[in-house]
Amino acid sequence: MPARAPIVAPSLLAADFARLGEELRAVEQAGADWLHLDVMDGHFVPNITFGPPLIKALRPLTRMVFDVHLMIAPVDPYIAAFAEAGADRILVHPESGPHLHRTLQAIAAHGCKPGVVLNPSTPVESIEWVLDLCETVMVMTVNPGFGGQAFLDSQLPKVAALRKKIDATGRAIALEIDGGVTPHTAPRLAAAGADTFVAGTAVFGAPDYAAAIAAIRTAAG
C-alpha cells in the first residue's frame, strides 16, 4: 500500500474554457494538490485541446504542480516546448513514439519529472525496462480523449500489479489514475494501491470544488 497521503489532481479539461484563470485559482483555493493538463492532438486521440502557449499563460497564476498529460504523436519534438511552458511533470504514452526510454530521458533532461501512461489495452510489461526513469506510472481507467466516460473496472488488477512492481523498486513512484475517478471509484483504486487521483468531471462538474476534492481525498484515504 502507498505510504503517502492521496494526491488529488483536478483535470482542467472539465473546466469552463472561457474562464480558465478563474477556474485554476478556484481549484487551488479548494485544496487541489496538482493541476492535470490534458494535451490532445486530434491524431493520437480523437479530440483536440491546447498546447504550450496556454500552459505558459496559466503558469504565473499558480504554484500548483503542473501535471501535463501528452496525448500527441509524435511526442518527442514537443517535449522542450512543454518543459519551457512550465510543466513540472510530463506524462507520455508508450505508443506515442518509437523510443520510450529516450523520450523519458529527454523529459528528465529538460528538468521535468517523467511518467508513463498505460491505455486500457496497454500491458503492465510495457514499463518493465523504463521504471528506473519514471516518477509516475499512470493507469487510464477510460480510453483517452474525453472526460466524463464510464470507469473501467477491468483496470483494477492492473493497478494492483503496478503497485507490486513500484514497491519492489523501493522508490516513491506515483501510481496515478486518470478517468472516471469519483468518491465512488476512489476507494477501490486506493485499495489496489493508487495514490494519485486525476478528476475532471467529479471536481469541475460539482457545485462545490472544495467539497468535491475533499470527498475524493477522504474516499481514497
Residue 179 in contact with ligand DX5, rule: CB under 6 A: yes
Q: Which of 8, 91, 118, 142 binds ligand DX5 (CB under 6 A)?
A: 142
Amino acid (1-letter code) at residue 155: Q
Catalytic annotation, pick one of 33, 67, 178, 195: 178
Contact track, ligand DX5, 51-90, x by CB under 6 A = ------------------x---------------------
Q: Residue 82 in 3-state DSSP?
A: helix
* Contact positions with Zn ion (CB under 5 A) in 22-51: 38
Integer angstrom CA distances of residue 50 from 12, 53, 70, 108, 136 = 11, 8, 10, 22, 22
Integer angstrom CA distances of residue 192 from 56, 156, 160, 195 = 35, 6, 5, 9
* Contact positions with Zn ion (CB under 5 A) in 177-206: 178
Catalytic annotation, pick one of 33, 38, 41, 67: 38
Contact track, Zn ion, 54-83, x by CB under 5 A = ---------------x--------------
Integer angstrom CA distances of residue 171 from 8, 55, 76, 89 = 20, 29, 26, 17
Q: Which residues are catalytic?
A: 38, 178
